[in-house]
């Protein structure tokens, strides 16, 4: 039985302990000839690495108990797929980065189909605004067929994934651990959802724990898979900012969604904007940068809904009136406390509280920190 | 030579009659107590002997057998010193007792013959009344505790010789009868050292507390350190309506089990604030001879659990059943003891380990995971029984000086009393007495004809992902809000305000901020 390339690569990486970087080096020296590369690494091995290898073949190296064997069994059992660098469906854009992963474990076929993707990254501890912004951008990108890539973490990442899954673009989640590990555990359901219209990928072998050091390694795949990286909310020393640095090295566009200047979670984004990242208000700002890419493949979408301020005001003036409008107008984009609102409106606390809740139900305001409210639109 | 007097023993909070029977017979001098006496009861032999001798009587040189009947119930405590001594004296013919049949006795004797206080006097007095006794001989120091019971004459004895004197009956007895009955009941004006005026700002929390007290809803305050959670909780007791006589008796019953020296009828709402290092028996009640725990001491009042997150998880779970049943039953192999615990629960906690999650000016340094872990401990069944969740923010420093005073406790209390009156009228003849105890079927009845409200509820529960229990608790709170406004029906704005107190903090970090 013929041993396929990806099995050989897996064997080289797992049991021969070839460093991925070294592998890629050799691969490039051989001008992308995978057979030559594998011959170089495995030339002394007379292998019979197919899944059916049995103990009887004594003349061959026994791989029964090797790590390779375990992983191969795992892959067969759990419907995990493998994609190697020589594969045609391996994303071209990822192949071009400095150190692409020689092997990708994946579930869900989106990774093979995605033609154009954009990453949305941000803080785990996000504000209501960040959540709203991530969802809004992600949803619109996905609607015109752009795949949204993110890191399957909590916070911005999970909101970006959730919103993207509703559109035709779908979503790709890149893990910092083995594909069999659900991390963080609260995203358990997201894992299942994402497989319906997206895929989960990782370069780490199954059972790799989510070590701290894995995440920067993962981040290079997130940005590597995409044409551009959108940062939604990031603290000053956030992982999202690191992703952007990698993205710049990989020659990707960097976008940042501005935030409230009083919010420490906007620091990172603003720092990026100051040093040249493009400010994003709507996906038009993103699409502008990719005009030559998407004009062929994608339909230019000029009038997708985005909250131009006029539009919003018109909509809401009809919905809210009287005291609600008065309070809504008083609550600015900087958070106001209940006490301030009561003092301003000269109404009773109970009335103010019910107005605040009803504005919240209408999704016009949001509790920013305890008892402080700010506008969403 | 046989003589018999009545006394009591306590099972949980209830007293039952115990007859102290004494028989003096010929034989080697001996003093035996039978009828499952505990250690304290057996030791009473020594106290009785000394007290009798030191009061100037003779201790009979006979074979003395004391039986505590019913003989199959374990008895502990020092209640029986006085009845044993008196019946020995009577059996040996040293004293005259005309009224022994209509009297009952409790009291611990000291070696010099004086009578010391015992626990649970008030429960015994009630029992004495219900079995038709006329006189109740009690230790002088705590006589006032039981003096409100009208058809029972409380005979306060300082010493064994006074008890002997009173037992002779007639005029001599009159001077020992405790008289300040009326005074102790009518003079009921609870006074507290703090007032709601002291709370600056925190309008939302104050309003929430008013609603919580009105409908007896359990409430949790969530906020960073120094935001005033404890201050608010302490003041909740000042806006609760005064206890009526019946409630005073119930409260005093529990307290008299807990400590001996309760020399009055307790008239203030109990406010219990146990520290989180409390033991399980201390919180729920228990021990070898079960004693009421903090939840019972908070009966008819407030139980405030500060730093709720620090309480062991199983203690929190232990609260479930008492919260539902308003009674805690402690079962031992020989007997079950039940203590009442109809309390309102106020809980305060930080929002996370570092305490600053959701704070405006200080950044929280907890990871998402830690915050989740923090809340995981508290979520679930107990949180479900807490109708109102209120966030409390720290005030800016300037507002401590500037802000004018808030409403005084008395003003708020008046409104709450009105609201409670409405509830009493509504629930007359039913098994419940507060809005927080309403079941879903009653609510459905109210909302049957109001489609607009029903639609609103569907919208809200969809929007906030509420469980059935969550929706019910919103409706209960909105009923209280409507009552505060003296509105017959629940209106839209009532519900919307109630939503505010439920979803203010949804205790899964996924859904907030």
**Using one digit for the tens of pLDDT, what is the confidence trace for B357-384?**
877 777 778 877 788 788 877 767 778 7
Q: Which has more pLDDT, A305 or B387?
A: B387
B227 interaction partners in chain A (CB closer than 8 Å)? 370
Same domain, B408 and B387: yes
* Interface touch B499/A125, C-beta < 8 Å: no
Better pLDDT: A50 or A323:
A323
Interchain pair A350, B224: CB under 8 A = no
Regarding whether B305 and B212 lie in a shared domain, the answer is yes
Q: Please report which confidence band the pLDDT of residue B316 belongs to, taking 50, 70 and 90 as the band edges.
A: confident
Phi, psi of A144 (to 5 degrees): -95, 15
CATH number of the domain that residue B159 is part of: 3.30.230.10
B204 shares a domain with B179:
no
CB atoms within 10 A of CB B167: 26
At residue B211, the pLDDT reads 94
Domain count within chain B: 2
Asked whether the beta carbons of B284 and B293 are under 8 A apart, the reply is yes
Q: Across the interface, do A155 and B463 touch by the CB < 8 Å criterion?
A: no
For residue B232, is pLDDT > 70? Answer: yes
Longest dimension (CA), chain B: 89
Q: Kindly state whether residues B172 and B203 are assigned to the same domain.
A: no
What local confidence, expressed as pLDDT, does residue A33 receive?
Answer: 84
Please state whether A206 falls in left (phi above 0), alpha (psi between -120 and 50) or beta: beta
Q: What is the DSSP letter of B134?
A: S
Mean pLDDT of B456-468: 82
Tell me whether residue B450 is in a domain. Answer: no
Residues B379 and B237 in one domain: yes
The pLDDT tens digits for A63-121 are 445 777 788 888 888 888 888 888 888 998 999 898 899 999 999 888 888 888 999 99
Give the confidence band of B296 by pLDDT, cuts at 50, 70, 90.
Answer: very high
CATH topology of domain A309-375: Arc Repressor Mutant, subunit A (1.10.10)
- The pLDDT mean for chain B works out to 86
User: How far is the alpha carbon of B358 from chain A, nearest alpha carbon, in Å?
Assistant: 5
Query: A361 and B496 in contact (C-beta within 8 Å)?
Result: yes
Q: CA of B404: which chain A residue's CA is closest?
A: A343
Q: Is the pLDDT of residue B46 over 80?
A: yes
Across B398-420, b (16+ Cβ under 10 Å) vs e yields: eeeeeeeebeebeebbebbeebb
Q: Is the pLDDT at A1 greater than 70, yes or no?
A: no
Q: Tell whether B505 is covered by a domain.
A: no
What residue ranges do the domains of chain A occupy? 5-78, 110-297, 309-375
Q: Which of B430, B459, B476 is the last residue of a domain?
A: B430
Q: What is the pLDDT of residue A293?
A: 67
For chain A, the residue count is: 377
Residues B281 and B310 placed together within one structural domain of the fold = yes
pTM of full prediction above 0.80: no
Query: Would you place residue A298 in the very low, low, confident or very high pLDDT band (cuts 50, 70, 90)?
Result: very low
How many CA atoms lie within 13 Å of A174's alpha carbon, on the beta-carbon side?
29
pLDDT(A22) > 80: yes
Q: At what angle do helices A239-249 and A267-274 cross, to 10 degrees?
A: 20
Position B512 in a domain: no
Q: B251 lies in which domain range?
A: 196-430
Where do the H-state alpha helices sit in B226-279? 229-236, 245-258
Cα-trace Rg, chain B: 28
pLDDT of residue B190: 61
Residue range A227-252: mean pLDDT, rounded = 90
Q: Model ipTM?
A: 0.77
Q: Residue B336 class from Cβ within 10 Å (0-12 exposed, 13-18 middle, 19+ buried)?
A: exposed
Closest Cα to residue A353, out of B494, B471, B227?
B494
Q: Do B360 and A372 touch (CB under 8 A)?
A: yes
Under 8 Å CB pairs connecting chains A and B tally to 82
Assess if residue B411 is contained within a domain.
yes
Flag whether pLDDT at A312 surpasses 60: no
pLDDT above 60: residue B279:
yes
Q: B133 in the Ramachandran plot: left (φ > 0), alpha (ψ -120 to 50) or beta?
A: beta
Q: Check CB contact of A369 with chain B, cutoff 8 Å.
A: yes
Instruction: Give the end of a domain, one of B161, B185, B209.
Output: B185
Instruction: Residue B512: list chain A partners with CB under 8 A.
Output: 367
The hierarchical CATH code for the domain A110-297 is 3.40.50.450
Q: Is the previous residue joined to A184 through a cis bond, with omega within 30 degrees of 0?
A: yes
Nearest C-alpha in A relative to B497: A354
Based on the domain organization, do B270 and B219 belong to the same domain? Answer: yes
Q: How confident is the model at residue B81 (pLDDT cuts 50, 70, 90)?
A: very high
CA distance A270 to chain B (A): 18
Report which listed range, A50-54, B144-148, B370-374, B385-389, is most confident: B385-389
User: Which of A184, A335, A354 is opposite residue B497, by nearest beta carbon?
Assistant: A354
Q: Is residue B94 part of a domain?
A: yes
The answer to whether the Cβ–Cβ distance between B459 and A361 falls below 8 Å is yes
Instruction: Tell me whether A260 touches chain B (CB under 8 Å).
Output: no
Say if residue B163 is in the same domain as residue B297.
no
Task: Give the confidence band of A247 by pLDDT, cuts at 50, 70, 90.
Answer: very high
């Amino acid at each position: 039985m013929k041993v396929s390339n990806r099995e050989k690569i897996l064997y080289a990486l797992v049991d021969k302990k070839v460093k991925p970087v070294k592998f890629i080096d050799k691969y490039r020296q051989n001008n992308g000839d995978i057979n030559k590369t594998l011959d170089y690494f495995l030339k002394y091995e007379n292998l019979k690495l197919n899944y059916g290898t049995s103990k009887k073949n004594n003349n061959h190296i026994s791989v029964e108990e090797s790590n390779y064997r375990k992983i191969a069994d795992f892959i067969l059992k759990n419907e995990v797929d493998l994609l190697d660098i020589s594969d045609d469906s391996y994303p071209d854009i990822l192949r071009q980065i400095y150190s692409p992963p020689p092997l990708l474990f994946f579930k869900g076929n989106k990774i093979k189909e995605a033609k154009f993707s954009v990453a949305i990254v941000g803080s785990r501890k996000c504000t209501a605004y960040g959540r709203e912004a991530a969802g809004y951008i992600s949803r619109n990108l996905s609607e015109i067929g752009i795949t949204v890539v993110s890191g399957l973490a909590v916070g911005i990442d999970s909101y970006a994934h959730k919103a993207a899954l509703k559109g035709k673009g779908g979503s790709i989640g890149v893990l910092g651990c083995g594909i069999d590990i659900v991390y963080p555990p609260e995203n358990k359901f997201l894992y299942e959802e994402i497989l319906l219209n997206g895929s989960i990928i990782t370069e780490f072998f199954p059972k790799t724990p989510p070590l701290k050091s894995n995440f920067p390694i993962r981040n290079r795949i997130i940005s590597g898979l995409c044409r551009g990286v959108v940062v939604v909310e990031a603290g000053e020393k956030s992982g999202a900012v690191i992703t952007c640095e990698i993205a710049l090295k990989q020659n990707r566009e960097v976008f940042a969604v501005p935030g409230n200047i009083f919010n420490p979670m906007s620091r990172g984004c603003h720092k990026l904007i100051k040093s040249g990242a493009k400010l994003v208000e709507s996906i038009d700002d993103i699409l502008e940068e990719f005009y030559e890419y998407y004009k062929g493949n994608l339909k230019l979408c000029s009038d997708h809904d985005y909250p131009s301020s006029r539009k919003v005001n018109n909509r809401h003036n009809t919905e809210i009136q009287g005291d609600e409008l008065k309070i809504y107008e008083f609550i600015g984009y900087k958070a106001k406390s209940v006490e301030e609102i009561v003092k301003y409106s000269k109404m009773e606390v109970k009335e103010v509280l019910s107005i605040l809740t009803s504005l919240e139900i209408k999704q016009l305001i949001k509790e920013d920190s305890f008892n402080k409210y700010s506008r969403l639109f | 030579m046989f003589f018999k007097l009545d006394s009591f023993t306590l099972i949980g909070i209830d007293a039952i009659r115990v007859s102290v029977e004494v028989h003096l017979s010929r034989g080697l001098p001996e003093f035996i107590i039978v009828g499952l006496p505990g250690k304290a009861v057996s030791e009473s032999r020594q106290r009785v002997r000394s007290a009798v001798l030191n009061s100037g009587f003779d201790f009979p040189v006979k074979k003395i057998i004391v039986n505590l009947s019913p003989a199959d119930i374990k008895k502990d405590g020092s209640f029986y010193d006085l009845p044993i001594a008196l019946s020995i004296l009577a059996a040996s013919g040293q004293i005259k007792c005309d009224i022994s049949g209509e009297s009952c006795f409790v009291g611990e004797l000291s070696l010099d013959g004086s009578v010391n206080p015992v626990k649970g006097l008030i429960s015994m007095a009630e029992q004495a009344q219900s079995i038709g006794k006329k006189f109740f001989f009690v230790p002088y120091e705590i006589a006032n505790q039981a003096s409100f019971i009208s058809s029972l004459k409380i005979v306060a004895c300082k010493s064994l010789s006074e008890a002997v004197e009173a037992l002779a009956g007639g005029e001599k007895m009159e001077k020992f009868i405790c008289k300040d009955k009326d005074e102790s009941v009518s003079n009921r004006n609870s006074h507290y050292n703090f007032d709601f005026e002291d709370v600056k700002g925190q309008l939302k929390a104050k309003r929430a507390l008013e609603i919580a007290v009105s409908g007896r809803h359990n409430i949790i305050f969530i906020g960073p350190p120094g935001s005033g959670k404890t201050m608010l909780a302490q003041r909740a007791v000042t806006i609760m309506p005064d206890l009526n006589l019946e409630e005073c008796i119930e409260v005093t019953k529990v307290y008299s089990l807990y400590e001996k020296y309760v020399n009055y009828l307790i008239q203030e709402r109990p406010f219990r604030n146990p520290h989180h290092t409390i033991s399980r028996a201390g919180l729920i009640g228990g021990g070898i001879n079960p004693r009421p725990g903090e939840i019972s001491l908070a009966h008819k009042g407030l139980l405030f659990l500060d730093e709720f997150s620090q309480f062991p998880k199983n203690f929190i779970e232990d609260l479930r059943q008492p919260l539902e049943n308003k009674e805690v039953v402690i079962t031992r192999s020989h007997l079950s003891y039940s203590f009442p615990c109809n309390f309102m629960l106020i809980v305060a906690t930080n929002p996370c380990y570092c305490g600053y999650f959701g704070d405006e000016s200080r950044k929280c340094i907890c990871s998402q995971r830690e915050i989740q872990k923090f809340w995981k401990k508290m979520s679930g069944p107990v949180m479900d029984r807490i109708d109102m969740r209120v966030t409390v923010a720290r005030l800016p420093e300037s507002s401590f000086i500037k802000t004018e005073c808030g409403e005084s406790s008395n003003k708020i209390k008046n409104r709450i009393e009105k609201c409670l009156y409405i509830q009493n009228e509504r629930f007359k003849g039913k098994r419940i007495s507060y809005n927080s105890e309403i079941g879903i079927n009653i609510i459905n009845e109210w909302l049957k004809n109001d489609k607009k409200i029903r639609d609103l509820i569907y919208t809200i529960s969809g929007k906030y992902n509420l469980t059935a229990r969550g929706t019910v608790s919103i409706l209960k709170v909105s009923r209280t809000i409507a009552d505060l406004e003296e509105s017959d029906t629940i209106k839209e704005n009532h519900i919307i305000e109630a939503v505010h107190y439920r979803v203010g903090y949804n205790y899964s970090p996924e859904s907030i901020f």
